[in-house]
Amino acid sequence: MKTLESYVLGRWQVGQGPTRTLVDPTTEEPLAVCGTGGIDFRAVVEHARGAGGPALRALGFEKRGALLKSLSAAIHEHRDELLELSIRCAGTTRSDAKFDVDGATGTLAAYAHFAKELKGAFLSDGTGIQLGRTARFWGQHILVPKLGVALHVNAFNFPAWNMAEKMACAVLAGMPVIEKPGTPTAMLAWRIAQILVQSGCLPEGAFQLLCGSTGDLLDHLGPQDVIAFTGSSATGALLRGHPNVVRHNVHVNVEADSINAAILGPDISTDSETYGIFLANVELDLVQKTGQKCTAVRRILVPEALREDVTRDLVERLQRVRVGDPGEEGTRMGPLASADALQEVRAGIERLATSARVLCGGSAPVRPKGFFVAPTLLLARDADADVPHAFEVFGPVGTVIPYSGAAGAAARLANRGGGGLVASVYSNDREWTEAVVLAISPWHGRVWIGSDKVADQAIPPGTVLPASIHGGPGRAGGSAELGGLRGLEPYLQRTAIQGFQGLVASAFGAPTPVSS
């Protein structure tokens, strides 16, 4: 059994005192222990600020982009090893492991590409503007790297991608990072950290890793620092409310759980291409990563006239899914990541069943060993019941909710989720689609539109792409990540420069706006 060390202060350090045991979610065999007892968290923060920050900022955007490209290549060199490790420590199928690991390298490479158009030490934000009686007195907004450290508290479901996508934005912006992976699957993040450190690409202090608790680290953050968190809305609220974080107004970026909706339009016939991609995408969302995706669909809104067709077809698809050892050929869905996750999903299914009928799957055990649950589909008894709209089960579970077919009815139900990361809309009716999209956009960070015109080209809605923002209002956290260069904004300070146009325009009117 391995001991997962933390990488802090330029060296690997074994935690002292209590540890937590990580297990293989398929066999329940112990794999590793980790803990951060004995680490001087104040020193960790000061090391990042004093060594990593100045070294990164001295490189400029272009060289930091080249650094990201090198990190992507270093991880990709170990791809096969990382895929096998993901299968063992996270319970992913090989396909799901690729989704995570290739997402990590792809996002790093994407931000390396975005950096090619950036020059110098800051970014301009929009064009300059006359402020005085004449153009002589001029204003220009700029974005400069903050002088602190970025603490990244990452989720267990994507130990590779979640770490890499946050790193890509922070490092390109010029901020050193302290990465804290979700503990149940930290073994994969730990191995990637070893690869990154061994590559020698990163300046000293630019990257540190904590395998275990963050201890009193939050007590040492200040106004130039950033916290980026992915996980439950409850934990996000605790981070935001930490006394020291509140006192110093530390920027907190939260990407939280959301009860995402897939909306099937009333114009869609069961023999259309759009109906086909609707079924395929819903099935993928329920099964991929065993439903442990923040972008997975939880509510399936279908016109009452199509309720029987949709439920029949989805049940047939889900009952064909082979659940089992993710290392075995033919397995479509592996276990949940931990015993805690299994307990929560089983309890969640039973709670949903108080207001919905289980059509397939359920909370019953699937195998005698491991953290397995069957793909589960429910049918709401009452579309307006609170539970399906207010309660998320973070696993392979979705609820079909019939609606009248009217655009307003679909939007009202979708918005009942209280804020989502993504909603998917399936329709060939332009007028209906426009009405739904405009009505749900205030409550969603991303709206994905499926139709016959993109049926053979569209990337599934559950996939997070570097060029589009990832985040959403309300329950989804109220923040955003990625979105091309927009992803750098949490790590940059926006400042208005005012003065003589000859100085301001020439010195600070850089050609590349952050929104490009």
Contact between 167 and 207 under an 8 Å Cβ cutoff? The reply is yes
pLDDT score at 274: 98
Residues 244 and 345 in one domain: no
Same domain, 237 and 293: no
For 206, the token pair is: 């630019």
Tell me the H-state helices in 200-272: 233-240, 243-248
- Please indicate, yes or no, whether residues 150 and 196 belong to a single structural domain of this protein: yes
Quick one: 431 and 445 in the same domain? yes
Percent of the chain whose predicted confidence (pLDDT) is above 70: 99
Q: What is the pLDDT of residues 332-384, one digit of tens each?
A: 999 999 999 999 999 999 999 999 999 999 999 899 999 999 999 999 999 99
Q: Compute CA distances 40 → 3, 148, 385, 398, whole Å.
A: 19, 18, 49, 44
Is 16 inside a domain boundary? no
What is the pLDDT, as a whole number, of residue 233? Answer: 86
Residue partners of 401: CB distance under 8 A and separation at least 6: 299, 300, 301, 302, 380, 383, 388, 413
Contact 265, 434 (CB under 8 A): no
CATH code of the domain in which 349 resides: 3.40.309.10
Q: Kindly state the average pLDDT of the residues 34-41.
A: 97
* Residue 485: inside a domain: no
- Would 181 be classed as within a structural domain? yes
Residue-wise pLDDT tens digits, 381-409 = 999 999 999 999 999 999 999 999 999 99
On whether residue 102 sits in a domain, the answer given is yes
**Same domain, yes or no: 304 and 384:** yes
Question: Does residue 321 sit in the same domain as residue 230?
Answer: no
3-state SS assignment for residue 246: helix
- What phi and psi, each to the nearest 5 degrees, are found at residue 422? -150, 140
**Residues 314, 384 within the same domain:** yes
Range of the domain at 369: 260-417+423-461
Residue 14 lies in a domain: no
pLDDT of residue 516: 40
What is the rounded CA–CA span in Å between residue 164 and residue 389? 31
Q: Are residues 272 and 297 in the same domain?
A: yes
DSSP secondary structure string for all residues of 102-123: HHHHHHHHHHHHHGGG--SS-E
Q: Per the structure, how many domains does the chain have?
A: 2
Residues 306 and 448 in one domain: yes
> What's the pLDDT tens digit per position in 282-309?
999 999 999 999 999 999 999 999 999 9
Mark residue 26 as left, alpha or beta (left: phi above 0; alpha: psi -120 to 50; beta: remaining).
alpha
Work out the pLDDT band at 119, boundaries 50, 70, 90.
Answer: confident
Q: In this structure, is residue 362 part of a structural domain?
A: yes
pLDDT of residue 1: 84
Task: List CB contacts of 147: < 8 A, sequence separation 6 or more.
Answer: 49, 53, 224
Residue 410 has pLDDT above 50, yes or no: yes
pTM of the model: 0.95
DSSP assignment letter at 460? P
Q: Would 99 be classed as within a structural domain?
A: yes
Each residue of 420-429: pLDDT tens digit?
Answer: 999 999 999 9
Predicted confidence at residue 120, as pLDDT, reads 86
What digits encode the pLDDT tens for the residues 174-196?
999 999 999 999 999 999 999 99
CATH code for the domain in which residue 241 is found:
3.40.605.10
Residues 244 and 311 in one domain: no
As a whole number of Å, the end-to-end CA separation of the chain is 48
Do both 399 and 313 map to the same domain? yes
Question: Which of 298, 301, 361 minimizes the C-alpha distance to 333?
Answer: 361
**Residues identified as active-site:** 255, 294
Q: How confident is the model at residue 36 (pLDDT cuts 50, 70, 90)?
A: very high
Residue 515 has pLDDT above 80, yes or no: no
Whether 455 and 497 map to the same domain: the answer is no
Report pLDDT for 432.
98
Q: Residues, the chain, total?
A: 516
Q: What was the pLDDT predicted at 222?
A: 98
Query: pLDDT at residue 511 above 90?
Result: no
Cα Rg of the chain, angstroms: 24
Specify if 276 maps to a domain.
yes
For position 251, what pLDDT does the model report?
97
Average pLDDT (206-214) is 97
Contacts of 512 (CB under 8 A, 6+ apart): 117, 118, 119, 123, 124
